[in-house]
Amino acid sequence: MVQAPTNVDSLFDQALSLASEERAELAHRLIDSIVDSEDVAGIAEVDAYWEAELRRQDEEIAAGTARLVPFEQGLAEMLRPLT
């Protein structure tokens, strides 16, 4: 049985006809529309955490203490628990 498209499906199809920059702007606006003012502090906290984590990783790479692996190996290691 085929379901009739919902309004969301129709909007999605319309959005796909936009240029990539316009789709990115739309996505950004939609995300902003569901984040209320109470969540802003939480988002800033998460952003600060990831900024610190990236800085830490950069420092490990620069110091030569990071364990670097080829992309394919790293991907396989990440996906292994899912299989």
- Would you state the pLDDT for residue 42? 75
Give the pLDDT of residue 3: 60
Residues 42 and 22 in one domain: no
Question: CB count, 10 Å around CB of 66?
Answer: 13
Do 83 and 46 lie in one domain? The reply is yes
Number of domains in the chain: 2
DSSP 3-state assignment of 70? coil
Co-location of 44 and 76 in the same domain: yes
Domain match, 28 and 43 both:
no
Say yes or no: 30 and 54 in one domain. no
Same-domain status, 59 and 21 = no
* Domain extent at residue 10: 1-34
Q: Is there a contact between 24 and 16 (Cβ–Cβ < 8 Å)?
A: no
Shared domain for 68 and 79, answered yes or no, is: yes
For position 74, what pLDDT does the model report?
92
Chunked into runs of 10 residues, the chain (83 residues) has average pLDDT values of: 71 91 89 70 82 95 95 92 82
